[in-house]
Amino acid sequence: MKINSIEEYNGRIKRVLVSESDIKREVKKAGELINSIYDGTPILLVSILKGAFVFLADILREVTVPCELDFMEAKSYFDGTNSSGTVSITKDLKHNISDYHVVIIEDIIDTGRTLSEVIKLLKARNPKSFKVITLLDKPDRRVVELSADYSLFTIPDYFVVGYGLDCGEYYRNLPYIAEYGE
């Protein structure tokens, strides 16, 4: 996908679904939840790249318990707006997670295939505990049984961009979540 002008770029945004102020408010609540659950116990925050890095950065600023970070990259969308159905782990964690309370920070749970595969992989490594926090939950698209421990927003079945989520690597820089359309 190649965008050739700012008009084309802006023209593909149908509407804002979640405002920047709503995101900030809910991120603060999610950080408070993490702090209350772990109450001073060190944790490992795991971001699924690339989409969740913006969410992770904002969550990190709200977390007051001792924490470390690690990253995985798992893909099922590649360059389109539909899941390929195939999950590829392209970057794995550096930490031995058996010594950690692990909190996955995810951008969106859509079909659930990608996160389901990541969860299986990580749970087999025997972390002390395991939680999933997702920015967006899209239950109408779920094809595997999966739910997060905490979801900030539930959205309808729209392809969305912004706040780290992309279409063909564009739109990650938007400070809100928007419906994308061609």
The catalytic position among 107, 110, 137, 166 is 110
Question: Is there a contact between 108 and 132 (Cβ–Cβ < 8 Å)?
Answer: no
Query: What's the rounded Cα separation, in Å, for the pair 129 and 147?
Result: 16
Gap between the terminal Cα atoms of the chain: 11
Tokens of 148: 């997060």
Query: What's the rounded Cα separation, in Å, for the pair 112 and 24?
Result: 25
User: 55-67: per-residue pLDDT in tens?
Assistant: 999 999 999 999 9
Average pLDDT, the chain: 91
pLDDT average, residue stretch 43-60: 94
Query: For residue 105, what is the DSSP state?
Result: E
Long-range contacts of residues 75-82, Cβ cutoff 8 Å, at least 24 apart: 75/114, 76/111, 76/113, 76/114, 79/1, 79/168, 81/159, 81/167, 81/180
Residue 25's contacts (CB-CB under 8 Å, 6 or more residues apart) are none
Residue-level pLDDT at 182:
78
User: 143-165: per-residue pLDDT in tens?
Assistant: 999 999 999 999 999 999 999 99
| pLDDT at residue 15 tops 70 | yes
Please compute Rg for the chain using Cα positions.
16
For residue 70, with 0-12 CB atoms within 10 Å meaning exposed, 13-18 middle and 19 or more buried, which class applies?
A: middle
pTM for the predicted model, two decimal places = 0.89
For this structure, is 99 an active site residue? no
| pLDDT at residue 77 tops 70 | no
| pLDDT at residue 70 tops 70 | yes
Question: Is there a contact between 105 and 77 (Cβ–Cβ < 8 Å)?
Answer: no
Per mean pLDDT, which range of 62-71, 72-81, 96-105, 118-127 is the poorest? 72-81
| pLDDT at residue 78 tops 60 | no
Query: What's the rounded Cα separation, in Å, for the pair 112 and 19?
Result: 24
Question: Is there a contact between 102 and 43 (Cβ–Cβ < 8 Å)?
Answer: yes
